[in-house]
């Protein structure tokens, strides 16, 4: 039995243009520094979605406790909308779901989002629940693997929900380039996937691979501070990925009897333009191969763990995948960690 992704659904908060964010808030926030202006212009982002638009409300001085209370207000309705859309897309009733897995690195509390969704969605009281926390941008893939294992072992449908509200973690003014880059890139989103043991689905999860280079674990960090969560993002991250991504993808394909030319679609986490350029160059991909990732980056920014499922949605909406065609999904995050998934179109 091979679990299939039978449905996808997303929910996005209000949209704000990148240029408006710069003109009306971040230019003053970063003291009009030319470096900040250049980094915002080079981020590859046209617009983002945000529950906390800094033009209307500046959270940069809020305590972490206040930010978590705001997460508790904003995340449940977004998560509800995303899961409801995924269930409808799959044609699956809420009562069929045996496991709800929630992934997030931007908000915590107990009773958590998973428990609130049991009530709002009408899920079963004997539902199993799993929370995947603080793994960062790659969390969707290990979470997807755990959900798939449940579906295979228990012969029951399951839901994965990724909710990230990065706008709640805006930091005080700084001249740190790493902070400027993160503030130029990140947006908010909730995306859900329904996995089913028997339905015909859009994608089948074939295999999953992981690689962590702990020697460079300081290159990407997500630190809990008294003023929210603070991103650390070394400019050397693309260079490290270039050392490993070819081998990880090559091994994943080889053990499934495939070569790189057999892959019809690529769903790559758009951590930023340099990340995408590095993957494209290292794997020898044509420019059009990463259009779903570049489009998601432009329209939504980097939404941490929710981004990869947005890219999968974008890839599927293009209608270019033939039945039986293979897709490789790639995501990167703290560790420094690389996850890869092999999927097959239904």
> Which residues are marked as active site?
137
**Contact yes or no for 299/47 (Cβ under 8 A):** yes
192, exposed or middle or buried, with CB in 10 Å at 0-12, 13-18, 19+? buried
Q: Cα–chain-centroid distance for residue 271?
A: 9
Four-residue CA torsion sign, 160, 267, 166, 141: positive
Q: Which residue carries 């033939």 as its tokens? A: 322
**Contact yes or no for 193/160 (Cβ under 8 A):** yes
Per-residue DSSP letters for 130-167? Answer: EEEES-GGGTHHHHHHHHHHHHHHH--EEEEEEEEEGG
| C-alpha pair distances (Å), 21 with each of 16, 57, 59, 93 | 7, 12, 14, 40
Interacting residues of 235 by C-beta distance below 8 A, sequence separation 6+: 177, 178
Q: Which residue carries 């089948």 as its tokens? A: 204
**Encoded tokens for 185:** 């890139």
The HSE-up count of residue 204 (CA atoms within 13 Å, CB side) is 16
**Contact yes or no for 97/161 (Cβ under 8 A):** no
**Encoded tokens for 90:** 């799959």
């Amino acid at each position: 039995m091979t679990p299939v992704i039978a449905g996808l659904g997303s929910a996005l908060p209000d949209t704000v243009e990148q240029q408006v964010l710069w003109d009306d808030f971040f230019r003053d926030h970063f003291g009009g520094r030319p470096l900040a202006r250049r980094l915002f212009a080079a981020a590859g982002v046209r617009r983002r979605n945000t529950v906390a638009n800094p033009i209307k409300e500046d959270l940069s001085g809020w305590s972490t406790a206040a930010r978590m209370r705001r997460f508790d207000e904003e995340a449940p309705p977004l998560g509800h909308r995303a899961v409801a859309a995924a269930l409808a897309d799959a044609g699956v009733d809420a009562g069929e779901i045996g496991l709800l897995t929630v992934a997030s690195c931007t908000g915590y509390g107990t009773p958590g989002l998973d428990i609130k969704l049991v009530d709002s969605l009408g899920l079963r009281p004997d539902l199993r629940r799993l929370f995947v926390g603080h793994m960062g941008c790659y969390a969707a893939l290990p979470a997807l693997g755990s959900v798939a294992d449940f579906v295979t072992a228990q012969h029951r449908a399951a839901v994965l929900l990724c909710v990230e509200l990065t706008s709640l973690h805006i930091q005080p003014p700084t001249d740190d380039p790493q902070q400027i880059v993160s503030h130029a890139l990140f947006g908010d989103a909730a995306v859900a996937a329904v996995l089913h043991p028997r339905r015909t689905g859009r994608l089948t999860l074939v295999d999953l691979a992981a690689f962590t280079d702990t020697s460079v674990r300081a290159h990407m960090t997500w630190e809990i501070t008294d003023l929210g969560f603070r991103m650390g993002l070394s400019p050397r991250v693309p260079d490290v990925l270039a050392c490993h991504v070819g081998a990880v993808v090559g091994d994943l394909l080889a053990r499934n009897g495939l070569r790189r030319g057999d892959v019809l679609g690529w769903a790559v986490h758009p951590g930023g333009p340099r990340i995408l350029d590095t993957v494209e160059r290292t794997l020898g991909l044509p420019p059009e191969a990463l259009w779903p990732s570049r489009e998601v980056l432009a329209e939504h920014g980097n939404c941490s763990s929710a981004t990869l499922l947005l890219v999968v949605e974008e890839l599927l909406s293009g209608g270019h995948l033939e039945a039986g065609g293979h897709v490789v999904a790639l995501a990167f995050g703290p560790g420094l960690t690389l996850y890869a998934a092999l999927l097959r179109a239904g």
